[in-house]
Chains A and B, each alone.
Chain A
């Protein structure tokens, strides 16, 4: 049967070419869009990352207003909540940034001293628990960190920092300007001496008036114990839309979880636009590719009715005739899928940087999608023509055609 089908394909390849091209180009477009979309979503996520946290975990009685004004309200939550989150199996929590703030007076001016926890501390927590943030799949908004030397100024947008020693501080742009501070200067504060490791760039937020130190140092200085005011989270937008907030709520029932909707909504809407675009192409390709294959198959059945009648006269049953046409569709689908994957990947890698401004790498997972989709389209589109062939009247064999 394989010989019968393959010979027929190669004998009439010019007729097959149109429908093969339809499915090949269709799969090529889907693969390249999916490939470019995947990498541009990641790029968008990285861009969104710079907008800051999109989920806040606050004490139950606090409001978002408290957080935005100065987050120096008296309410706190235990630092242990951070460990709980870090060691949970919640997906979509990429950057956790616990904070404790207290007022501090310098040269007669009041600023906010904010304690933050560097990532190295999370790694230690994860190691204790054998799980946690570093074993969790990294999605959008991920700041990998711990790779090579770090520019501490990235705190302004990443919300997390890899390392921060007990005698180190980072100062906001306003603080530096008002106190005339610069990098590597010494800063005396609440009876302790600190080294300024970075002056953060202007952000236009309250962060400009902050001095960042190690969380545990600020806890010591405030004498409040192992507590924090808030945990800033950069959550994956997909996970937020899938109910990340509710999951955090059930993990931390005594805290208030707030989504900063504008940021999350922007992320979700961009991703939704991309997936809708991809879906639209998918639907078009299914119809165009499917219709082209169905049309070709109907014509092929019509053209081969004498041949089919001959096979039936020689003893072929309808099931065999059906299988002959479906095998042809399968071969067409597999060839279209593999060809479409290869072409689509090349197209995405070459055009991705030009069209979307992102570097695109081949995605082997898309090969499965390409072949599966192509085979499914070819089989479904060919089923009715194949059925027609299987129920053809073998008397056609005896008639002049």
Chain B
């Protein structure tokens, strides 16, 4: 994935706000990148743009050398369905569906048959340690368990890229550690991870750390994993 001179501005109460300012970044296959910075620095905007959900005011976002904002909205939805797994700060589970059905959603969107959906969703929930909570609704699960359902859902369509928006933002330190462990594990399987976070300890676990300030990428440094790799 590549961002070339990406700028995002939008009007707000008569003033033009710059969310991203000529941002350049390249994220290679298998990378694990943390994006850090203060609130309003443009972290989520960057993530949305990489996910094909927010078109830039200027510049290009490339996936395998294809400018994704030259594609129409449905083609970008198709790209997300096939290649991207999302994980959100507030988990965004569908409240009236069971854990199993929540994990089935990306598989339903990919038109997998129902048996396959159920088998794969059950296996993923087993993997995140919720094999005994398949039919629980989100409201019947703890916060940590809800995030684990979201992690299982993230992997349902076997994505090459994972975009995580503050995945540990609502979690206690122990559960946060488990989530980062899990992200490291799936990164180890060759999946690319871009994670927006406020948590310095979580950010440190990545291979690279991009720091944003007022829409500008102000620094890039290796994370713990990156330093280990370099060593």
Q: Which residues of A contact B (CB under 8 A)?
A: 1, 3-4, 7-8, 10-12, 306-307, 309-320, 394-395, 397-398, 400
8 Å CB contact of B74 from A7, A318, A394, A395: A318
- Distance to closest chain B CB from A306 (angstroms): 6
Any A CB within 8 A of the CB of B110: yes
Nearest B residue to A6 via CB reads B96
- Contact partners of B101 in chain A: CB under 8 A: 3, 7
Q: DSSP majority for the A interface? A: helix
CA distance A285 to B161 in the complex (A): 51
Among B43-51, B181-189, B201-209, B216-224, the stretch that binds chain A is: B43-51
Bound form: Cα–Cα A400–B90 in Å: 9
- Complex contact A398–B96 (CB within 8 A): no
Complex: A12 Cα to B48 Cα, angstroms: 30
Asked if B37 is an interface residue, CB under 8 A from chain A, the answer is: no
Q: A310-B94, A315-B81, A398-B47 are in contact. List 6 more A-B contacts (CB 8 A).
A: A4-B97, A312-B53, A314-B109, A315-B78, A317-B74, A398-B44
CB <8 Å contact, B165 and A317: no
B interface, size bucket: 20 to 34
Q: Which residues of A lie under 8 Å from residue B47 when comparing CB positions?
A: 398
Task: Specify the chain B residue showing the minimal Cβ separation from A391.
Answer: B73
B143 to chain A, nearest CB (A): 16
Closest 9 CB pairs of A and B: A315-B81, A11-B96, A310-B92, A317-B77, A317-B74, A315-B80, A7-B96, A315-B109, A394-B53
Expressed in whole angstroms, the Cα–Cα distance for A1 and B106 within the complex equals 12
- In the complex, the chain B residue whose C-beta lies closest to that of A320 is B109
Q: Are B77 and A315 within 8 A (Cβ)?
A: yes
**Closest partner residue, chain B, to A3 (CB atom):** B101
A309–B44 alpha-carbon span in the complex (Å): 15
User: Is B88 a contact of A310 with CB atoms below 8 Å?
Assistant: yes
> Is the CB–CB distance between A395 and B54 below 8 Å?
yes
User: Do A313 and B94 form a contact, CB below 8 Å, given A395-B48, A398-B47, A398-B165?
Assistant: no
**How far, in Å, is A59 (CB) from chain B's closest CB?**
76
